[in-house]
Structure 1
Amino acid sequence: MSPSTTLVLLHLLLLVSLASGDFYGGSVSFTPRDRNADGTYMVDFRYRNIDDSCNFASWDCCSGNCGYSVNNERGQIAHSTRERSDQHNQWCETETIQTRKIPSNRPFQMIQSNPGSWFLETKVDLGTRSDTGVANRSPVTATLPRIRVPQNCQRSYNLMAFDPDDDRVRCRYGLARPECDSCNQPLGFYLDQGSCSLQYGNGSMTDVYRFEVVVEDFPKQLITLSYNDGSSSSRAEITTTPSPTTTTEAPTTTTPPPACPIPWIDESPLQTSLSRLPLQFTVQVDLEAPTCDEGVYLPRFVNPTPRHGQRIQAEVNKELEIRVKAEATNSVVDAVIVSGPVSLTNHRTTEGEFVIRWSPTHQHLGQYFPFCFLIEGLSGSRVYQSELRCVLVEVGPRNVRAEVVCDENQMTVEVERSSIPEIDEKHLRLSDSCNTACDLQRYSNSTHIIGVIPLNACGTQIEEDDENLIFKNEITSFDNVSDIITRNNEVDIKFYCEYAKHGKVSLSFNAHRESVSVMEKGFGTFTYHFEFYQTSEFTQMVDPHDYPIDVEVDKMIYMEIRATSTAISAELFVESCRAAPFDTPNYSPTYHIIENGCTVDRTVRIFPPLNEKSFRFGMEAFKFIGVYDHVYISCSVILCEAGNPNTRCAQGCSSNDHESDDSHQRHKREAAIQTGKHHISQGPLRLRKNSESSVTNLNKNTVLMAGSIVAAVSMLCGVMFYKLKSSKVKYQPVPTSDFL
């Protein structure tokens, strides 16, 4: 057999191994825990395994005393959502969290007892460091299970490599068994050892390539490692040139893993790394993309996606939230691929954001956790990936102590005063605190700051995905009640209630909306009333007990918005009105009725007002109502100083909402000539079915609830939620008519 034939055969054997094998990579990290009274050590190991069938890895000791396992927790992190176009196997990432009892802090070596040819050699040194006074800790590493790159696109993949002891971390290819098996360094790729960045230059053959990377940490100065048997060793900052980049051929047969032939302490002990960890994964080179510009076929990350390497602070028993979003003009953003702790979850909102959540517990306190993610876009049968980003989450103690209870129509949040001792509720507010019902002083007591927040008021925002409705608000601190912003934002407590949707089951927002009372400087306390009327005479108001109101398409409906105020010379202006299934300002989709003071629906009729503080209008009932179980009419209104030509009220219908807002905000700061915009709503309306002979009120529908709250003090990075408890809900049977 000729040498060229042998080379081709070896290459084919490598490809068969990747295509038909079960294992695609993995990683290891370890964290020392407390030393036991008997002198033994407890160490947590995190083994990540990537294969095609969600198997869990097992490990063997091959050098030194590795102790024994006292606890194992296993779970699935992520799995592929579609079959690869060129292979029948799918990938699945699992994690095993193993606590081992180690008799000594002397170095030892472990290897994965995998039947394949991926060894994942791990070398551990738990010696007490002279610079920190505690046991040595390993670097924190991570990447994603499967990375894809178009053949013609240059890419740089920054692997997560952080060291909690502030050591210098380097990444290199494995040089010999058991650091690696094939020990190949694929052509077209370059591994920057200092930055742990894998760079693809373009031009490689379309294929799946395996990477067997070794992650090592070196101190930044000379240190001593002390062991409990009285011995010690020294480590110095790495000064030698990087390891040579040699290439070896793949073996023609599969051999069992070697029994740790590489000694732990080599001929130059000062240059020996503190730890050696495996970081093994695959990269699939796909066919060429029409263009390599991000945002066309390759998804491009946009706000609020965190930047690569960002440090995010999490707290024990709080739910961490990371939001990721990407855009592409010629592919459809399809999914987020994420790797992190085993209990993370992710879902996609109707606004196109992916929300990654994780709830750290007390056992995670003081540890660091990498989260790596990318976005996939689809164009026909082609899959395109965004850049790879990783963030680092540090788990600290719980700061603000609070809980939230979710009821059918409101959220109740209670914050322990002792957890924010220097903040008074007079300097705390909700997202929109103009409504007097949103005043945090109203329900607070000597031990707790309490807010009772309606789901449709106080600036509550709604977020939706395929399965849930999420109502969100926040409590923030401020310096002066008149300030729009604050430079000393000491407290930011974000909270939400999550309601599960099941089929046509909806929330029981079927009650008549009460009047909204507001207090603003220069206008005192005033109240907005929003009512439906039977006729254009506006003499007979629809009885609040008759809600939801049944309407017929093309039949007129009549509405009045009225303000009562102690200010004699005031006038009302309706800036916008919309219809939506829920009466929260940001809900989408909506049906526009009035925008920027201009009528949008062609059937809108304006009727003479009762006085300057009222607005009467009517319109034909629209088919938008029939798309949902029920809808609300929500309006944005302003009260102005009557007769003043500088107010928004005097401007009337305007085609440029932003300019008018900026102009009148400046006038508002100079003197109290108009209020801010206030959100009011009424409803619901329900499309009357032809088969209905009588009007029946909707009964309360069954909902499932989960409450969560978030707290951030000073300038903590990221957004942190933690789940608390749900109130018990009284359920009623849903009438059959609600499902017609």
Structure 2
Amino acid sequence: MHVLSGAYKDAAGGPETQKQVGGNMAATAVIVLQLLLGSMASASHLYGQNMVYTYRGRNPDGTFKVDFHNRATHRGGCWYSTGWRCSGSNCGSVSRTQTGVVDNANGACATEEIITRNMRSNKPFLLRANSCCWVYGRNGVSSWNAATSVDLGTRSDTRQPNRSPDFNVLSVLRVPQNCPRTYNLLTFDPDGDKVRCRYGNIPGVESTSCTLPSGFHLHQDSCTLRYLSTSAHSNVFALELVVEDFPQGHITLAYTDGTRSSRAPLTVGRGKRSITQWWQWYMTSTTTAPTTTTTPPLSKLPLQFSVRVDPAVPTCQEGIYLPRFVAPTPADGERFQAEVNKEMEIKVKAQATLSTIQNLLISGPMNISKHRNTLNEFDIKWTPVPEDVGHYFVICFAVESLRWPQTYQSEMRCVLVEVTGERVKPHVICNETSMTVLLEKDSFSGLHQDHLRLSESTNAACSLQTHSNSTHVIAVVPLNSCGTEIEEDENNLIFKNEITTVDDIRDVITRKHLLEVQFYCQYPKRGNVTLGFTAHRRNVTVWEKGFGTFTYQFEFYPNNQFQTRIDPNSYPLEYELGSRIFMQIEATSSINNTELFVESCRAAPYDNPSYHQAYSIIENGCKVDPTVQTYSSADKQEFRFSMEAFKFIGLHNQVYISCSVVMCEAGNTNTRCSMGCINSTGPVRGKREAHIQTANHFVSQGPLRLRRSAQSAGATVTNLNLNLVFIAGCVLAAVGMICGVAIYKSKMAKVKYQPLPTSET
């Protein structure tokens, strides 16, 4: 995001601080140009806007510092200045402005302008803005009006100035004509005040029409807007709401001039509806309002947006035409914590069977961004800055899908983000084959390193004890094991893992999930090739309760005699298309009464069992590839098989074979090993009792390459070369974007990265 900063001149000529400008013609031209641009911005077509404020304390000169966050969406361009002007004499002066683009989609550009004002007094003041035009409104609203009322008097209950309610909304909402929908306008007050959302009722100040459009219902106390029914049209309804906060009890506000004022709670009650017959409710606008209080609110803030009613959809059931949110999308109203200077991530996924997911719409703080990965999931990312600590931010989003020529929009969801200071101090280093994470032990006092583990820790190489010292917990995490997950977008490969707390390092579940440190390494796909993944893979050593320490060995052989493995120095191995590949997986254990079972094997362009686009060879213990052959062995801890070299290799420069294996007590009929091949589309799990079978472990070997014949060498071959492209910059620790995020949780953590069912891959 491009961020600009500089002096600002108040459009109404109020007492604003500005740099001295010479009296020459060039300087005058600059001022005229600035005013002209501000006027053009105000005159552009508006979809909606809202404003909140943040009290920043007192400056050294005693003035009161306040940041105003004005979010606006315009059609046809990214305009920043809305032309807010002072209505009165206590608006202070503008010392700084910052601007940035939040989202730009479908010809609508959402921006945020942060205006810093320094007030000489903490007395109440009013900011106003108005201009032409709402974008193609259909409810009689052409020009727009907005007002922001702020009172910085010291509250008798908190001993601090009033803090602004936090809220947000997407400026352009779309709903099919025949599908009633409820929009929960998320509001949060950091002082615990009562917040209500009413329709603007002061013409020329708060709104233009002062009337909620027909077909909508607004419940003021819950800030809930319901679309009921109306005709479809390409023009939008312009909705002009006002957000107010009232104290929960009687308080006084003290000002620097020695005066005081009082505020009373909002008395909740039912206002009269504008209709009496039930059948009229679906065709007429209504407002459920509380009774009027005798004292004004603590603040009044604009919340304005547009609603477009689209033609009817064949069915209103979500997931068919209308996008339906699925896991891991957060619920509406969910709360997050984000640490300062550390990137937070919100994952969004939606499905629709008869339309195609197209885009994600977002609204949130400056520097927020969105990304789409190869799983058709969206990532919302944001990094709070130090001045955000202790404050709250509302992030809203919706997904759009397309079935030509109609666009469908999902429900809108909003989440609340609280920004905290740095709690854990991680440092992440990325190299060709691993991620190194260093955590200062002093930053998580009260937790012992013995109760910390990676996502998967049965592999001895994943122990946090190996490299840690007296001052730091150090994890050297391979990119292809220890539960490392791989994600991919158009430009990058992202490897993710996490360090969490457990009751015991050998436990599968935990009730003490108090700390979660998520970290990742991001590598660009383009760059020079290194030999990061071309070496023969080492054996996998595993520790399991009841089985002790045992080792898996995955090797390739030249023939079906399985006598001498292929020299590891020969890797990467090359095969002719159709030639047979012979493989053996062997388990070595001090316990004799055990047997090995291979539940699945897949081929993928990366040495990572979590990669989503893989070719299945064996699934649920059953042969999937028709060329697979198995060979008997006198040793129950060996599994021998072969298959023909397949064209999948030709789509990539090289591939790896990864298998999921399990060790069981030999002869026990209650184990997964005894179940053998099970033809099932769902996940299969044997009954895991203590000491009769292990968890699933992943072993891999490779890479394999398809040998090019002389005839095909000169032909044009589609080469995605994903593995080598990934290695392209793995030496680039400086180029990879690195982040460690720590989140304290008060509830049991969910499983983060589950493999997708076959139907979703």
Distance in 2 between the 1:364 and 1:554 partners? 60
Matched residue, 1:198: 225
Distance 1:152 1:308, change over 3 A: same
Matched residue, 2:113: 96
Distance in 1 between the 2:330 and 2:598 partners? 39
3-state SS of the aligned residue for 1:624? helix
Superposition TM-score, scaled by structure 1 size: 0.85
Q: Is the CA contact (8 Å cut-off) linking 1:507 and 1:701 kept in structure 2?
A: no
1:517 aligns with 2:541: yes
Which of these residues, 660, 663, 666, is aligned with residue 639 of structure 1?
A: 663
Q: How does 1:344-359 map to 2 (within 5 A)?
A: 344-359=368-383
1:183 aligns with 2:202: no
CA shift, 1:675, in A, is 2.2
Matched residue, 1:157: 183
1:218 aligns with 2:246: yes
Matched residue, 1:560: 584
Distance in 1 between the 2:675 and 2:311 partners? 58
3-state SS of the aligned residue for 1:371? strand
Deviations 1:253-285 (A, max 9, x none): xxxxxxxxxxxxxxx994211111111111111
Matched residue, 1:16: none
Which amino acid in 1 is paired with 2:638? S
Matched residue, 1:75: 100
CA shift, 1:370, in A, is 0.5
Deviations 1:362-408 (A, max 9, x none): 10011110001111111111111111111111111221221211111
- The percent of aligned pairs where both chains have the same amino acid is 50
Matched residue, 2:256: 228
Matched residue, 1:472: 496
CA shift, 1:578, in A, is 1.1
- Range with greater deviation from structure 2 (175-184 or 69-78): 175-184
Matched residue, 1:62: 87
1:49 aligns with 2:72: yes
CA shift, 1:180, in A, is 1.3
Distance in 1 between the 2:607 and 2:500 partners? 23
CA shift, 1:505, in A, is 7.5
Distance in 2 between the 1:544 and 1:674 partners? 31
- Mind listing any 5+ residue stretches in structure 1 that lack a counterpart? 1-19, 83-89, 248-267, 722-740
CA shift, 1:242, in A, is 7.5
Distance in 2 between the 1:716 and 1:112 partners? 45
Matched residue, 2:450: 426
Distance in 2 between the 1:402 and 1:126 partners? 39
Matched residue, 1:707: 738
Q: Is the CA contact (8 Å cut-off) linking 1:508 and 1:701 kept in structure 2?
A: no
Distance in 2 between the 1:75 and 1:660 partners? 50
1:684 aligns with 2:684: no
Distance in 2 between the 1:96 and 1:506 partners? 45
Distance 1:400 1:513, change over 3 A: same
Which amino acid in 2 is paired with 1:709? G
Q: Is the CA contact (8 Å cut-off) linking 1:324 and 1:355 kept in structure 2?
A: yes
Which of these residues, 568, 571, 579, is aligned with residue 595 of structure 2?
A: 571
CA shift, 1:718, in A, is 9.8
Distance in 1 between the 2:531 and 2:248 partners? 59
CA shift, 1:417, in A, is 0.6
Distance in 1 between the 2:674 and 2:163 partners? 68
Which of these residues, 337, 350, 365, is aligned with residue 326 of structure 1?
A: 350
Distance in 2 between the 1:524 and 1:298 partners? 52
3-state SS of the aligned residue for 1:545? helix
CA shift, 1:318, in A, is 2.0
Superposition TM-score, scaled by structure 2 size: 0.83
Matched residue, 1:9: none
CA shift, 1:468, in A, is 2.0
Deviations 1:591-639 (A, max 9, x none): 1112222222221122243633222221110111111221110111222
Distance 1:652 1:161, change over 3 A: closer
Distance 1:505 1:383, change over 3 A: farther
Matched residue, 2:6: none
Distance in 2 between the 1:289 and 1:507 partners? 54
Matched residue, 2:4: none
Matched residue, 2:128: 111
3-state SS of the aligned residue for 1:418? helix
Deviations 1:649-690 (A, max 9, x none): 333323359796242x03xx2xx2332221000011111222
Distance in 2 between the 1:226 and 1:197 partners? 33
Distance in 1 between the 2:541 and 2:470 partners? 26
Matched residue, 2:278: none
Distance 1:294 1:118, change over 3 A: same
Distance in 2 between the 1:54 and 1:718 partners? 40
Q: Is the CA contact (8 Å cut-off) linking 1:234 and 1:270 kept in structure 2?
A: no
Distance 1:657 1:439, change over 3 A: farther
Distance in 2 between the 1:174 and 1:656 partners? 59
1:274 aligns with 2:294: no
Which amino acid in 2 is paired with 1:76? V
1:132 aligns with 2:132: no
Distance in 2 between the 1:186 and 1:289 partners? 22
Which amino acid in 2 is paired with 1:236? A
Which amino acid in 1 is paired with 2:739? S
- Mind listing any 5+ residue stretches in structure 2 that lack a counterpart? 1-42, 134-142, 276-291, 715-722, 753-761
3-state SS of the aligned residue for 1:277? strand
Matched residue, 2:13: none
Distance 1:224 1:533, change over 3 A: same
Q: How does 1:588-737 map to 2 (within 5 A)?
A: 588-609=612-633, 611-656=635-680, 661-663=685-687, 665-666=688-689, 669=690, 672-691=691-710, 701-703=728-730, 704-715=735-746
CA shift, 1:60, in A, is 1.3
1:449 aligns with 2:473: yes
Q: Is the CA contact (8 Å cut-off) linking 1:324 and 1:354 kept in structure 2?
A: yes
Which amino acid in 2 is paired with 1:188? G
Q: Is the CA contact (8 Å cut-off) linking 1:24 and 1:50 kept in structure 2?
A: yes
Deviations 1:567-588 (A, max 9, x none): 2333222222111112322212
CA shift, 1:701, in A, is 2.8
3-state SS of the aligned residue for 1:271? coil
Which amino acid in 2 is paired with 1:457? S
Distance in 2 between the 1:612 and 1:178 partners? 83
Matched residue, 2:283: none
Which amino acid in 2 is paired with 1:62? S
3-state SS of the aligned residue for 2:536? coil
Distance in 2 between the 1:285 and 1:541 partners? 68
Distance in 1 between the 2:376 and 2:700 partners? 27
CA shift, 1:220, in A, is 1.7
3-state SS of the aligned residue for 1:156? strand
CA shift, 1:504, in A, is 11
1:541 aligns with 2:565: yes
Which amino acid in 2 is paired with 1:674? Q
Distance 1:244 1:232, change over 3 A: farther
Matched pairs, number: 666
CA shift, 1:523, in A, is 2.4
Q: Is the CA contact (8 Å cut-off) linking 2:512 and 2:748 kept in structure 1?
A: no
Distance 1:244 1:69, change over 3 A: farther
1:40 aligns with 2:63: yes
1:363 aligns with 2:402: no
Distance in 1 between the 2:93 and 2:58 partners? 15
Distance in 2 between the 1:716 and 1:367 partners? 23
